[in-house]
Amino acid sequence: MSYDIDMRKLAMTVEYDIPFFQGTPTYCLQLVEVEQSINMTYNVAPIFQRALGGNGLRDLQGIPGFMAEPRLRVAVADMMHPDNYSIYQSMNPVNGWGTWRGAYWVLETLLEWCIKHPDARIDIW
């Protein structure tokens, strides 16, 4: 299993009625554009939780890039701090699926996306 992480921006909202059903409400369809997309194994979830705190990546779900950026900056800096190298390295999954360097790359990439698309929302599923 893995995290699928997207940066999504609302492209348009379309309201419509279905005329052949009487008494039906107006439906609203929101179309989104996926600006960026990345994937990472769940095996590194403890690394994300240590770097980001709380529930790790899950806490970023649905928030815009400009709100996630400060938190990601702190996480990326924490992971690259020399005093933390051995801590993160010891968190590498024993099954070999994922590494702290891969988790770092995901957070660094997500930070770049947040800077590039501050109004886009993070979607994690």
Q: What is the 3-state secondary structure (H, E, C) of 90-124?
A: HCCCCCCCCCHHHHHHHHHHHHHHHHHCCCCEEEE
Q: What's the domain range around 9? A: 2-124
Distance from C-alpha of 25 to C-alpha of 11, rounded to nearest angstrom: 23
What's the average model confidence in pLDDT over 26-37? Answer: 65
Q: How far apart are the first and last CA of the chain?
A: 11
Contacts of 83 (CB under 8 A, 6+ apart): none
Quick check: 43 pLDDT over 60?
yes
Return the number of other C-beta atoms located less than 10 Å from residue 33's C-beta: 13
pLDDT per position as a tens digit, 67-118: 999 999 999 999 999 999 999 999 999 999 999 999 999 999 999 999 998 9
**Number of structural domains in the chain:** 1
pTM: 0.82
Query: Rg of the chain over CA atoms, in angstroms?
Result: 18
